[in-house]
Each structure stands twice: as C-alpha cells, then as structure tokens.
Structure 1
Amino acid sequence: MKKIMLASVAALSLSTAAQAQAQTLCMYDPIGAQGAAYALAKDYALAAKQWGAKIELKAYTDERVAAEDFKAGQCDGVGITGLRGRQYNAYVGSIDSIGAVPSYDHLRTVLQVLASPASEKSMVVGQYEVVGIFPLGAAYVFVRDRAINSIEKAAGKKIAVLDFDKSQARMVQQLGAQPVASDITNFTTKFNNGQVDIVVAPGIAFKPFEMYKGLGTKGAIYRFPLVQLTGNLIIRPDRFPAGFGAKSRKYILTQLDTAQRTIKQAEDGIAEKYWLDLTAEDKAKYTLMMTEARVQMTKEGFYDKKMLNLLKKVRCKFDAAAAECANNVE
C-alpha cells in the first residue's frame, strides 16, 4: 500500500512539473523583438498565464527557420504567415487564396466563424492545432513602372513569388509573366534593386522594407487587394494545458481591432502619389482571372475546397446579387 501511495505521489509530482514547464513560442517578425508582431505576442503570453500556460517567446526574423524549428520540435508553438502555415493546416491556410476575401469586413466575418466552437475540429490536423488567426493586411501589386497598369502589360515581366508557395508561380505563369523564386527575407530587396518588375506585398511591408526605393519616381501600387494575408498561431496541443486552443482563439478574436488599426496606420502612411486606381474594366478582369485561378488551383490541390466554399458563402452574404452566388463554379 505504501509503495502504491509513493508511486501515486511521484506520478502527481511529474504531472505537476510538466504543467509548470514553460512552452516556447517561436514568433516570426521581420523586425525581430522590436517589431509589432512580437509586441502583440508579449501581450498574448501574459494572457496565456490565465489559461495555465507559461509561454517564453523567441523572436525570428527568418520565417523559414521558425517553421523548421517548430517542425523539429524545438518550439512548442509558432507564429508564422498563413501562407507558410498551410503546410500544417490546409483548411486555415486557404484563407489566403487569391481574390477570395475582398475586404477587411469579409475577413472579420471569416475569422469570427473560425473562432467559434463549431469550427474547433477543423483547427486540429494530426499533432498540430491552429490556436489563432490574425490579419496581416491586404496584399497589393507594386510595380516599378506605373505604365504596367493592366493585366496585359504584366506579360513578360519578372514577378517575385515565394518559393514555398507553388500557387503563386502558377498564377504568374497564367499571366504570361516570369516568376522569380524568392523568400520573405529577400522578395522586397529584389524589387528595390530592380531584379523584378513586380511584387505583391501588404501595406505593413512598405516602411520596414523601404519599398519606396523600388517604386522610385515612376512606380505605383494598385489600389486593388489581391489577397487578405493572415498570420497563424500553431501549437503542439499535447504540450499545452487542456482547452488551451479554444481560449486562445477566443482571445485572438478580441485583438482584431488592434491588428486592424496597425494595418490601417501602415496603409495611411503610404503617400497618395504611389497609389494607382484601376479602371472598372480592369477590376472586372482581375476578379474574373482570380476566380478562374482559384477554381483551377483548388482542383490541383493548392487550396482546400471546404474553405473555398466557406469564403464564397461569406462573399455572398455581403453581396447576394453577385453572379457567382447563382452558379456552382466554385
């Protein structure tokens, strides 16, 4: 009896010790520990104490390394872009599909749905769980020469694409342009020094990556969002207290307004002279092109069909008269 009691006490001690262990959250921020994303992560770590977690943050300026360290088990959780997070959860990673989320209001609705208990099962894939999705801003087309003001004029031009996201290269090829493999650490540098003619980036990248250098006096930014970029918080749930994911997603949802203010401030900080308004005809062309690309890339397995169906429902909630709401193309 005494041995059984001692064994029980030992087991309880081990369990308590495991709970007391800190969880490492590897956070990607291009600016590092001084960046806005890392600052939000510090607030998140404080909130997580209430859910029984003791999070230690580790800043990464190279997203690829952060993702690899997480996959290798050196991080218990990771904060990365949705594009990079797609490898862990294709459903959540497909929010960032081209043209599928037209505005920030659309995105807010999508994130509210995904933070609800009804979506809980979709957040877990294998040994990974998405415990937070947050906006990074709309991605816009940056051109070094504003004469490239239409789809047709993009033909033959060099466009930077992220090497780990094959859907980008496919899209560029459909335009008749030349994809140039890049990564998050150098795609804006290639634009700034003239190695590529075109790049797609969010407004929050403009100042820290000095993209005004690439725009110079002739460049422009299309005032037409191609995609709503998101960030993902992903964990190994077995290393966190039970129920952590649901509490985390609920908390992240309360931070939407803060994230949105940061995005708006960055976009408002871009001088008006850089923005280029497209004609209604070109906007219609872009919208059709993006729809066709989504359909094709979903068939080829780049995007998750279930997520694309959800995003269409959200678009039709905002505009029930849209042509797509009356067909089954997507």
Structure 2
Amino acid sequence: MKKIIPALLLSAAASTGAQAQTFCMYDPVGAQGSAFALAKDYALVAKSWGANLELKAYTDERVAAEDFKAGQCDGVGITGLRGRQFNAYVGSIDSIGAVPSYDHLRTVIQVLAAPASEKAMLNGQYEVAGIFPLGAAYVFVRDRAIDSIEKAAGKKIAVLDFDKSQARMVQQLGAQPVASDITNFTAKFNNGQVDIVVAPGIAFKPFEMYKGLGTKGAIYRFPLVQLTGNLIIRPDRFPEGFGAKSRKYILSQMPTAQRTIQQAEDGIDEKYWLDLTAADKAKYTLMMTEARVQMTKDGFYDKKMMNLLKKIRCKYNAAAAECANNIE
C-alpha cells in the first residue's frame, strides 16, 4: 500500500503537468484555413516548451476574443486591431501611417521580441506571446475616378465597428463611415453597399474582391496601415517562460509570413493597381500624421508605441521632416 500511494501521487502530478491549454484561433475560413494550419505547426513546437495546446477554430473574431476574455480560452490568435483591448501598446502598431514598409515592421517585431521588451508584453492577466504580419492595408475603390483625398468626400467607406479610430479618420475625409466587421466588410464592398474599403492584399482572392472592383475599380498602391496578428495568452496557465519562447519562434517565422503576403500581392492583376502622384502621397502622409497625433492625444493609440515607431521611421529615413520636430 505504501508503494501504491506515491505512485498514484506521481501519476496525478504527471497528469496535471500535461493538462492541455485551449488555444482559440481566428481564421475566416475556419479549421481549413491557412492561419489555422500555421497554428497546428505552432502547437507542435509548443510541446517542446512544455505546453499541450488544444486548438479551436473560430470564424468570428469577436466571439474568439470574448471567449478568451471570459476565460474559456487560455490563449487566442486574433488581429492586432482586436487585440488592442488586451495590450494597447502592442495594439497600437496598427496605427495609420506609422509603419511605412515591411522592413519597418520587421524591425518593430524584432524590438518587441527582445528580452528588453518583456515587461511591455505583459498587461495585467494577459501577455502578448507573438506578433506576426498580415500585410499592408490598401485603399480599394469601386471607381478609379476616386483617385484623390478630395474625391473621397461624401463616399461610403466601410470601417470596423470596434475600431473607433477608423470612423474618426473617415469623418475627417468628409466621407460617410459604414460600421462593419471582419466577416462582412468585403461583402459590403463587393455588393456596392460601400464605395471604398481598406484591406490587405491577402484578402483579395479569398474574399473575391475583384467582384467589387469590377471593370472600373482600383487599388491605391500606397499602404495606409501595416496590419498585424497577435497571439495572446493568460501566462498563469502556461509553463514559465512560454511567452518569451513563443515570441522568439514567431519572429523566426517572419520570412515565411512575408513571402506569403508578397505572393498574394503579386497575384493581383496589375490592371487593378493605381499609382498616386507624388503630391497626393505627400497629402496622404501629412493627413495620416495629423490624424495619428490627434488620435494619440485622444487615447486611441499608445504614446510610448508612437514614440518607438517614430524612432524606427527616423532610423530608416533620418532626413524626414518629422525627425526634426517633436510633434510625435
């Protein structure tokens, strides 16, 4: 009997250590989607960190975030825009005009995956365990005659209902924001409910956005935002050090993610792309800067992240006018 009791205790301890963590992954296509496929690879690697992830696919991002908030998920994979509620610092990467290129974004993610940023990844009971690129977001218009800021006035533009900064930006253009969510904003563009939508190149094929573009539409070859995805966990439900290992691994996967994004953009027929004039690009840049500064003052964006993003922009272009002022 004396031998049996310790054996039972050891068995129970082993069972507790092997207890699975529920990881809820948003993928618009569901369990057959590319994001969920990557999550399967992630789960295999996570075993070496002492975690046993049980993946659960969600086609509704809002539900995934709410289930995570309610404690039904130990970890969640969602967009940075939706993830802002769990960590405003990381969630502010997806701010308008703040990350001009994929090179800039790679530097941002490298900085945040470093040990020096570990404290910033924690916010209360939540920890950002990985940041990955989803691609630059471009302006899609149903009529290429809408080729300037001024011509956007009065037009209907789809905005994500949970991201108030988008509605603010659209109103500044004199346009009409139409509340939407990730599951229907492209459909509204395709069926003509809105004239303009902002979306990444990776959305073009799966969401059949060529239907909305038709024969007159266009895509501005000018990124407004670098969209990111977040892996967020409740660290108390994971092995010690899981978050740091996860961030390092996700960083190592960036080249693969960027190739996927580039292939999607390269796969869009050249006839859809519209190059803006240098004057219009300058207008857009100024407009985005002014909007970003105001939205930071209003609390939409995290000021510390805005400072970091400016430092990174100035690292790539020290001659930029913003590097000589203290506006941001």
Distance in 2 between the 1:171 and 1:10 partners? 62
Q: Is this contact kept in 2: 1:137–1:229, CA < 8 A? A: yes
Give the CA deviation at 1:36.
1.3
How many residues align? The count is: 325
Q: Give identity over the alignment, percent.
A: 87
Alpha-carbon distance between aligned partners in 1 of 2:81 and 2:69, rounded to the nearest angstrom? 16
**In the superposition, relative to structure 1, how do residues 289 and 15 fare at CA in structure 2: closer, same or farther (>3 Å)?**
farther
CA shift, 1:9, in A, is 8.6
Tell me how far 1:16 sits from its aligned partner: 3.6
Specify the alignment match of 2:29 in structure 1: 31
Whichever residue aligns with residue 17 of structure 1, its letter is: S
1:17 Cα offset (Å): 2.9
1:24–1:77 CA contact under 8 A, matched in 2: yes
User: What residue number does 1:289 align with?
Assistant: 287
Q: State how far apart, in whole Å, the 2-side matches of 1:203 and 1:327 are.
A: 33
AA in 1 matched with 2:232:
I
Identify the residue that residue 247 of structure 2 maps to in structure 1. 249
Aligned with 1:129: secondary structure?
strand
Aligned to 2:208: 210
Distance verdict in 2 for CA 1:316–1:11, change over 3 Å: farther
Q: Within 5 A, what are the aligned runs for 1:12-23? A: 15-23=13-21
* Per-residue deviation, residues 151-208 of structure 1 (Å, max 9, x unmatched): 0000000000000000000000000000000000000000000000000000000000
2:318 to 317, 320, 324: 320
- Residue aligning to 1:76: 74
Aligned to 1:46: 44
Change (3 A) 1:242 1:15: farther
Q: Tell whether 2:84 aligns with 1:86.
A: yes
Q: Which residue of 1 aligns with 2:55?
A: 57
> Normalization by structure 2: what TM-score?
0.97
Paired position in structure 2 for 1:261: 259
Aligned-partner SS, 1:229: strand
Query: Residue 118 of structure 2: SS of its match in structure 1?
Result: helix
Tell me, in whole angstroms, the C-alpha distance in 2 between the residues paired with 1:288 and 1:154: 16
Q: Which SS does the other structure have where 1:75 is aligned?
A: coil
Listed as ranges, the gaps of 5+ residues in structure 1 are: none
The letter of the residue matching 1:233 is L
Alpha-carbon separation, structure 2, partners of 1:326 and 1:73:
46
Decide whether the 8 Å contact of 1:19 with 1:241 is kept in 2. Answer: no
Partner residue in 2 for 1:180: 178
Deviations 1:245-287 (A, max 9, x none): 0000000000000100110110011000000000000000000
TM-score by length of 1: 0.96
Moved more, 201-210 or 12-21: 12-21
Q: Distance in 2 between matches of 1:199 and 1:14?
A: 54
Q: Which amino acid aligns with 1:99?
A: G
**Once the two structures are superposed, what CA deviation does each residue of 1:48-82 show, in whole Å capped at 9, x if it has no partner?**
00000001111111111111111111111000000
Aligned to 1:277: 275
Two-structure CA RMSD over aligned residues (Å): 1.3
Whether 1:236 and 2:234 are equivalent positions in the alignment is yes
The aligned amino acid for 2:126 is: Y
